[in-house]
Chains A and B, each alone.
Chain A
Amino acid sequence: MTLPLDGIRVLDLAQVYAGPTCTRILSDVGADVIKLEGLKRMDITRNFVMPENNGKNDYWNRAGYFLLRNGGKKSLTLDFSDPEAVELVKRLVPYADIVAESFTPRVMAKFGLDYESLKAIKPDVIMISLSGYGQTGPWRDFTAYGMGLEPASGISSVTGYRGGPPLRTGISFTDPYSGVVGAGAVLAALHYRRRTGKGQYIDLSEHESAIPVAGYAIMEYVLTGRMPERIGNRSEWYAPQGVYRCRGEDNWIAITVRNDAEWEAFCHAAGHSEWENGRFGDVLGRFKYHDELDELISSWTREQDHIEAMHLLQKAGVIAAAVLNPKQVLMDPHLRERGAFDMIDQPDVGVRPVARQLGAKFSAFEPDSARPAPKLGEHNREVLQGMLGLSDEELARLEEQKVIGDTPEGAVPLDVMRMFVQWPTTTFQQMGTIAGLDADYREQLGIDGNGNEKAK
């Protein structure tokens, strides 16, 4: 099958979340992505979420977090602190169409791998830097995490309970978002290169790529001088809107009613035609008495199953969606039918469902996303010998000198590291950060089998 980026090669120096999402999307649509990691600086997410919570042996090759964003890539270990490794990177540049990196701005220049240097080696190279705050400006050298960039982008200022403090989402939200934006920027640059033969440099600030998400709040201040307030799950435009408690332990449903017809439909479906008229009978009343309306709606939803209520209300033409927990997301019939999860057979892990990173389906091709993540250094020989022609002796010497390898070098001894990668899950459950712990989760997911027992 032909894919849009067949024949395009990416040197991927990016780590953690945003950059790897960008290059993962390019990989899914056909690019050959070679991920570079240092033996002393492997991608830190190789430490996150172990199968069966077991950090044994080469745990860095089995992390679930790493699989999501690095499936389908090749792994080459080259440590930039070694001048010989930098020279090898430079020798790889002529074979690359795209170079992606996500360090703070000083790093690439320090190693002589900035855009001007790469351009001197390969004039039409496209380089993208995904950094926290961009390559210029007073905050350029700030170290940045997605957990900080979401509040810095203005999104948290309009997220939160009414009257409460600003709130983050429960993930590093700006990371995947700027990764997707970055993939779009690279595709535009490739389009331009096809037309003109010219490469270029893309300076993506993860901070700036996320600010447009807060566009309404910014324009409200610009046009009215008012500072937008946090309004919980309510809407600027529609009432009632909220997330209402349903039957059971921690079940909820999100409901939005946009107009009189939908309100009528809601009241009929809920069996409360008496709410249709009177003070809630028109748009103004529903805005004005939103608090009381929430009480009434909750009194109904509390008796309902959240999934059944979603179907009941949707059938009546009302926007309603069950709040799914991560397990329910994996089991969801719609997502399953749409193929939103690839079943990936990860060596030494077994088959696991992995959320597709590219939320689009294409009529002309199927993205090549169902591939395992590479083991650390798995493609050292393929790349260094196959592409650069290094001899067996040279490879052996590089391995001897720890320039390349398949085992991370770190200050933290491996047995200590294992303590960190194994989560105290029962404590988490007592704390309430974990809502449930299913010993039989593999049966539930339908992935049980010998494949899962390959782990040593």
Chain B
Amino acid sequence: MPDSALADTRVIDLSQGIAGPYCTRLLADLGAEVIKVEPPEGDYARRLGPFPNDVPHHDRGGLFLHLNANKKSVTLDLETTSGRVVLRKLLANADVLVESEPPGVMASRELGFEQLREEFPQLVYCSVTPFGQTGPYASFKGNSLAAMALSGLMYITGDPDEEPRAMTGAGQHIDVSMLEALGCADEYNTTTYAYLGAIRKRFYSRHSIPTYPSEIFPCRDGSIVVIGGATGFPLMMAVLIERPELESNPLFQNLWLRFMQWEKFEEILRPYLAEQDWEDLLTRAQELRIPFAAVLDARTLLENEHLRERGFFAEIEHPELGKVPIAAYPFKMSETALLVGRSPLLGEHSHEVLGEVGYEAEDQLVLRERGVT
């Protein structure tokens, strides 16, 4: 097997939930050895399902599998001094530590960046929290909904009269804030204010740079994303909907007019789309170089011919779940292997990993019986 890009990298992953574990999942796909250190009861994401037959089981959660593929699992109670002694042995051979505790919690366990930097000068210490380690909201409780609310992304998503909508999604210290990570998703919202004094508002989740239409419409067998694109209008759109005479219609010619009189434009478009099937629309639009797109869901993603040919979903074998398709790595690399694997069972690698740092079988038994691992 070819070498992996991060084959020389070892990550101690204390993070739980979604954001931190997805960070380390990407590192694991790239070949890093990711040792997930969980409390004895497990990452709380092990409780979140979905579960086969809706029967909860810490090793059978679908979300956990998705976020923790290719990692190893070691259980360790970091609330105890003995647990922290074991962790320090693991850190001696590690390049990266990732954690997602509320600010201050790691320091209270004597595991903060400042407390570890002298002993482990090589360690890249990454903290992933909703609002970062500093600032007035640092101690706020948060989740992705809260980060989306404060980022402005929520305010511009949804129908204008309804509530805004969220979306269902040498060593050093890296302070990652979920809120600020949405800074690059600020497409032109704060810019519109900083350049025009205009406050963008949600308007059916429509772009206000008038690339209207660029949204989801119903069609005969589902939905289709209709996008005019930079060059699609006016002729090609008129040809696509089999009414070439509309080429000279002002609604097809003038992008501002189309944006402002969108209801009139939709009166033309909707009846036609209602008689068409999405795959046919998609194919014909793309043949005319109009960037229509499909609206896919869990089932149609898994059945999608394009993704199948690309090998995007990979089937893994899981001791508790059997053969399961999961989303594999999000890009392909020509020289280095990307890994496809399963999530670890709770504590599956405790024996192996503790053995590597020098704990004999009898010591491991003591640690286990005292509830440290």
Q: Taking A143-B291, A217-B297, A337-B135 as contacts, is the C-beta distance between A152 and B225 under 8 angstroms?
A: yes
How many pairs of A and B residues are in contact by the CB < 8 Å rule? 514
Instruction: Judge whether B221 is part of the interface by a CB distance below 8 angstroms.
Output: no
Instruction: Judge whether A407 is part of the interface by a CB distance below 8 angstroms.
Output: no
Instruction: Judge whether A293 is part of the interface by a CB distance below 8 angstroms.
Output: no
Residue contact B332 to A171, C-beta cutoff 8 Å = no
Residue contact A243 to B154, C-beta cutoff 8 Å = yes
Residue from B169, B175, B336 whose CB has the most chain A CB atoms within 10 Å: B169
**B256 / chain A contacts, CB cutoff of 8 Å:** 420, 424
Closest chain B residue, CB of each to CB of A141: B286
Cα-based distance from A329 to B179 in the complex (angstroms): 11
Instruction: Judge whether B370 is part of the interface by a CB distance below 8 angstroms.
Output: no
**A317 / chain B contacts, CB cutoff of 8 Å:** 141
Q: Taking A144-B291, A216-B63 as contacts, is the C-beta distance between A177 and B327 under 8 angstroms?
A: no
Chain B proximity of A4: nearest CB distance (Å): 10
Interface bits A417-428 vs B (CB < 8 Å: 1, else 0): 000100111011
Which of B80-88, B187-195, B348-356, B359-367 has 4 or more CB atoms under 8 Å from chain A? B187-195
Residue contact B305 to A138, C-beta cutoff 8 Å = yes
Q: Taking A191-B5, A227-B299 as contacts, is the C-beta distance between A325 and B199 under 8 angstroms?
A: yes
- Total residues of chain B contacting the partner, CB 8 A: 141
Closest chain B residue, CB of each to CB of A363: B173
Residue from B176, B225, B312, B325 whose CB has the most chain A CB atoms within 10 Å: B225
Q: Taking A321-B142, A326-B192 as contacts, is the C-beta distance between A227 and B297 under 8 angstroms?
A: yes
Instruction: Judge whether A381 is part of the interface by a CB distance below 8 angstroms.
Output: no
**A170 / chain B contacts, CB cutoff of 8 Å:** 153, 156-158, 200, 202-203, 205-207
Q: Taking A138-B306, A224-B53 as contacts, is the C-beta distance between A359 and B180 under 8 angstroms?
A: yes
Instruction: Judge whether B26 is part of the interface by a CB distance below 8 angstroms.
Output: yes
Closest chain B residue, CB of each to CB of A254: B149
Interface residues of A in 167-209 (CB under 8 A from B): 167-173, 175-182, 184-185, 188-189, 191-192, 195-196, 198-205, 208-209
Residue contact B145 to A233, C-beta cutoff 8 Å = yes
Closest chain B residue, CB of each to CB of A201: B334
Interface bits A118-138 vs B (CB < 8 Å: 1, else 0): 000000000000001110111
Instruction: Judge whether B120 is part of the interface by a CB distance below 8 angstroms.
Output: no
Cα-based distance from A441 to B330 in the complex (angstroms): 41
Q: Taking A171-B187, A177-B185, A211-B327 as contacts, is the C-beta distance between A115 and B334 under 8 angstroms?
A: yes
Instruction: Judge whether A5 is part of the interface by a CB distance below 8 angstroms.
Output: no
Q: Which of A176, A220, A242, A363 has a CB less than 8 Å from the CB of B113?
A: A363
Closest chain B residue, CB of each to CB of A344: B194
Chain A proximity of B305: nearest CB distance (Å): 6
Interface bits A228-260 vs B (CB < 8 Å: 1, else 0): 100011011100011111000010111010000
Residue contact A64 to B177, C-beta cutoff 8 Å = no
Instruction: Judge whether A271 is part of the interface by a CB distance below 8 angstroms.
Output: no
Which of B33-41, B103-111, B208-216, B264-272 has 4 or more CB atoms under 8 Å from chain A? B208-216
Residue contact B293 to A148, C-beta cutoff 8 Å = yes
Interface bits B113-153 vs A (CB < 8 Å: 1, else 0): 10000000000000000011111110111110111111111
**A17 / chain B contacts, CB cutoff of 8 Å:** 187
Which of A283-291, A390-398, A429-437 has 4 or more CB atoms under 8 Å from chain B? A429-437
**B307 / chain A contacts, CB cutoff of 8 Å:** 137, 208
Cα-based distance from A198 to B223 in the complex (angstroms): 45
Residue contact A321 to B309, C-beta cutoff 8 Å = no
**B302 / chain A contacts, CB cutoff of 8 Å:** 218, 221-222
Instruction: Judge whether B369 is part of the interface by a CB distance below 8 angstroms.
Output: no
Chain A proximity of B299: nearest CB distance (Å): 6
Residue contact B141 to A314, C-beta cutoff 8 Å = yes
**B199 / chain A contacts, CB cutoff of 8 Å:** 325-327, 434-438
**A341 / chain B contacts, CB cutoff of 8 Å:** 190
Residue contact A166 to B62, C-beta cutoff 8 Å = no
Q: Which 6 A-B pairs have the closest CB atoms?
A: A148-B293, A219-B62, A441-B197, A359-B181, A170-B156, A321-B146
- Listed in ascending order, the chain B residues whose CB lies under 8 Å from chain A are 3, 5-6, 8-9, 22, 26, 30, 48-54, 60, 62-63, 65-67, 113, 131-137, 139-143, 145-160, 162-170, 172-203, 205-209, 211, 214-216, 218, 223, 225, 227, 229-230, 255-256, 260, 286, 289-299, 301-302, 305-307, 309-310, 312, 321, 324-327, 330-336
New A-B pairs, 8, CB < 8 Å, besides A167-B158, A219-B62: A142-B293, A147-B225, A152-B293, A168-B205, A209-B330, A332-B150, A353-B194, A360-B181
